[in-house]
Amino acid sequence: MLAAVSEDDMRAIVARLVELAKAGNVAAAREVFDRTLGKTQEADFLERIESLERLLESRRP
């Protein structure tokens, strides 16, 4: 299969995926983020939420 797909084909596919993500396609956005940033680990996600909660709490009047 790899021999049947050129570099230009791959660029076109990635460009279309990015276009779809920018247009609001959530599945495409997830794929772009997963492939470029890596999948978020649940523990990492929870840590980020807790950090944001602390930040918001510290900014309360």
* Residue 52: pLDDT over 80: yes
Band of pLDDT at residue 34, cut at 50, 70 and 90: very high
- At residue 31, the pLDDT reads 96
* Residue 41: pLDDT over 80: no
* Residue 18: pLDDT over 90: yes
Return the structure tokens found at 54. 């602390």
Whole-angstrom distance, CA of residue 36 vs CA of residue 25: 17
Per-residue exposure over 19-35, b if at least 16 CB sit within 10 Å of its own CB, e if not: ebbeeeeeebbeebeee
